Amino acid sequence: MAKLLPIVTLPSAKLRELSLAVAAADIQTPELQTLFDNMIFTMYEDDGIGLAAPQIAAQVRVIVVGKDALSDQGKLPFSADEDLVLINPEIQEYSWKTELDDEGCLSVPGFGGLVQRHVNVTVQALTRTGETVSFTAKKYFARVLQHEIDHLNGILFIDRAKEVWKHEKNQSM
């Protein structure tokens, strides 16, 4: 059964470290498969749409993305009905068009910001089964991927934000 992992938050220096690549031969190990499941569980328990391994103190190049981010993507080389695990993801191509939108982060609790991101990105990665995939992500999915891949490189959304704000603790609906 998956377990909830503690989220690393600022001011931890761990969030600024570069993550290490995962060897393809290690992907099928029980330890890594458990890590993937725990990351997905933690992402949902903490109400996130994506999570990078450095956010749970694992300095490896692994991200997970909730299936809700995949819903409007069209054809992908993996199921859009399942949460996504990407190992060693690299952005190969960026669209020239960008968009400014709100972002938040589980590792920067209580803050939000306006971040300029590319509308489309082409990513190459390994899946949790070790398969190499290459795909183009659009809009929200592209934003989530850029945010999570930034974590693997020690970059936080506040580093890219045009504006950052603190959330009020007692917001009414």
Q: DSSP H helical segments within 63-138, as ranges?
A: none
93 assigned to active site: no
CA distance 32 to 13: 23
Closest CA to 148 of 94, 87, 74, 92: 87
Per the residue annotation, which of 31, 45, 148, 163 is the catalytic one?
148
Find the helix or strand (DSSP H, E) in which 148 lies.
helix 139-152
Residue 114: count other Cβ atoms within 10 Å of its Cβ.
15
CA distance 104 to 121: 20
Q: DSSP H helical segments within 26-65, as ranges?
A: 30-45
Catalytic residues: 148
